[in-house]
Amino acid sequence: MLAMKWVIIFLLIVSNVYSQETNNVSWFKKTFKELTMNEVLQVSKSPKDLCFYVHSRVDYKSDINDYTKPANETWNDKTGDCEDFANCILTLCESNGYPADIKIVFENNNPKAHAVVTGVFNGKHWVSSNGNFQYIVDENEIKRLVARDMGWNKRSVNMTSIEDSLNLFLANKEK
């Protein structure tokens, strides 16, 4: 047991020295996923990498009032619901120059909705739902995937962008 402690101490020292000398993120931090958001941006080479780090760090926890937390708050709290995951991933993607968008998927006549992030990377369409990354053929596949995951009837599922949802909400609020 004592030998194991010395091995861990040695690895921490070596990884921190290497990290400081090369301006890289340490092996230890990458392995145990205790990276800051800025470090995640440094080590990620694709939206898939970003989703992996968010999914590994953040646990799903629903909230009552559907407050969308800023990305750094979700990262630091290590919890969030679908729109918190989506906002965190979108923020990271935009920071690394990966085009992405939040889509709201909903079932007709159902007050529940689900937020996902979509984008294109190297010519391939992708979606992330609560940090789970998947390549897709087209946006219709997003509706099918969410309908399956949410237990909805896939024929009554629709999708909109976050901007369109906000405009519709504001228009209905003014009536």
Domain extent listing, the chain:
37-174
Residues of the chain with pLDDT > 70: what percent? 75
Candidate ranges 13-22, 32-41, 43-52; pick with highest mean pLDDT? 43-52
User: Directed axis angle between helix 82-95 and helix 47-57, to 10°?
Assistant: 140
The DSSP output letter for 119 is E
> Residue 117: what residue type?
V
Q: Say what the pLDDT of residue 35 is.
A: 87
pLDDT bin (cut points 50, 70, 90) of residue 18 is: very low
Q: Are 60 and 47 in contact (CB under 8 A)?
A: no
- Give phi and psi for 158, each to the nearest 5: -125, 170
3-state helix, strand, coil in the chain (%, to 5): 55, 20, 25
Could you tell me which residue, 34 or 107, shows the higher pLDDT? 107
How does the average pLDDT of the chain come out, rounded?
83
Query: For residue 17, is pLDDT > 50?
Result: no
pLDDT per position as a tens digit, 100-155: 999 999 999 888 899 999 999 999 999 999 999 999 999 899 999 999 999 999 88
Could you tell me which residue, 25 or 119, shows the higher pLDDT? 119
Query: For residue 12, is pLDDT > 60?
Result: no
Give the DSSP H/E element, type plus range, for residue 72.
helix 71-77
Q: Say what the pLDDT of residue 164 is.
A: 74
CATH classification code of 37-174: 3.10.620
Could you tell me which residue, 164 or 85, shows the higher pLDDT? 85
pLDDT bin (cut points 50, 70, 90) of residue 24 is: low
> Strand 100-107 and strand 79-80: pairing?
unpaired
pLDDT bin (cut points 50, 70, 90) of residue 66 is: confident
pLDDT bin (cut points 50, 70, 90) of residue 38 is: very high
- Residues 47-62, mean pLDDT to the nearest whole number: 95
